[in-house]
């Protein structure tokens, strides 16, 4: 029978190893996704973007490019790190923490204006992603449902 101290030291090694794993793979999300405005809804006063494309790279990096509802182009990106909030490039003082599990991605977004929680799910056929964003921005409640269509081939999507 293994002693308590021995089990604790093994668990400590396993835990330390998980903390040093490389950036999360984007897995089922990998590829390009295009915003579908006809299937999306935003809070009153928050216009839908004119266009938006999400690109998930194999290393987990997410690049978002498009044109805002006011006609301004935008481009920003980040590479998630397990268990850590990372800075979002080209966004003033914004950080995001990402958790990825199967066909679900979860984000916790923070910046001086507030905190938002986002959760995306890939459909059973792998062709659509529904991303719900909720939170507070400058004291106003935000609720958005953005639908994105996959561009290109769909790999097999296991459901979790």
Q: For the segment 53-72, what is each residue's pLDDT rounded down to a tens digit?
A: 999 999 999 999 999 999 99
Instruction: Flag residues of the chain having pLDDT under 50.
Output: 1-23, 158-160
Does residue 160 form part of some domain? no
Q: Which of left, alpha, beta for 71 (phi over 0: left; psi -120 to 50: alpha)?
A: left
Domain that holds residue 121: 22-151
Tell whether 159 is covered by a domain.
Answer: no
Q: Is residue 16 part of a domain?
A: no
The DSSP code sequence of 14-62 is: HHHHHHTPPSPP-GGG-EEEEE-GGG-B--TT-PPPSEEEEEE-TTS-E
Would 2 be classed as within a structural domain? no
What pLDDT was estimated at residue 13?
Answer: 32
Those residues with Cβ within 8 angstroms of residue 61's Cβ, 6 or more apart along the chain or in another chain: 23, 26, 77, 78, 79
pLDDT score recorded for residue 139: 87
Residue 47 forms part of a structural domain: yes
Residues whose CB is less than 8 angstroms from the CB of residue 19 and which lie 6 or more positions away in sequence, other chains included: 82, 83
Q: Is residue 90 part of a domain?
A: yes
CATH code of the domain covering residue 120: 2.40.128.20
**pLDDT score at 153:** 76
pLDDT in tens, 139-149: 889 999 999 99
Task: Determine, yes or no, domain membership for 4.
Answer: no
Report if residue 158 sits inside a domain. Answer: no
Residues 6+ apart with CB under 8 A from 149: 33, 34, 36, 127, 128
Q: What sign results for the dihedral spanned by CA atoms 160, 118, 33, 95?
A: negative
Quote the number of domains for the chain.
1
Indicate the DSSP class of residue 88: P
As beta bridge partners, residue 86 has 96
pLDDT at 27 (0 to 100)? 85
Residue 137's pLDDT is 87
């Amino acid at each position: 029978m293994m002693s308590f101290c021995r089990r604790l030291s093994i668990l400590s090694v396993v835990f330390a190893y998980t903390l040093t794993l490389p950036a999360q793979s984007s897995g089922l999300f990998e590829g390009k996704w295009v915003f579908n405005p006809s299937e999306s809804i935003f809070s009153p006063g928050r216009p839908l973007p004119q266009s938006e494309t999400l690109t998930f790279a194999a290393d987990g990096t997410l690049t978002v490019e498009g044109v805002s509802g006011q006609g301004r182009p935008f481009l920003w990106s980040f590479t998630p790190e397990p268990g850590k909030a990372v800075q979002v490039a080209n966004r003033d003082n914004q950080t995001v923490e990402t958790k990825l599990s199967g066909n679900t991605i979860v984000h916790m977004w923070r910046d001086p204006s507030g905190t938002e929680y986002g959760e995306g799910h890939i459909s059973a056929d792998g062709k659509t992603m529904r991303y719900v964003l909720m939170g507070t921005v400058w004291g106003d409640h935000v609720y958005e449902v953005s639908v994105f269509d996959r561009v290109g081939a769909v790999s097999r999507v296991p459901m979790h």
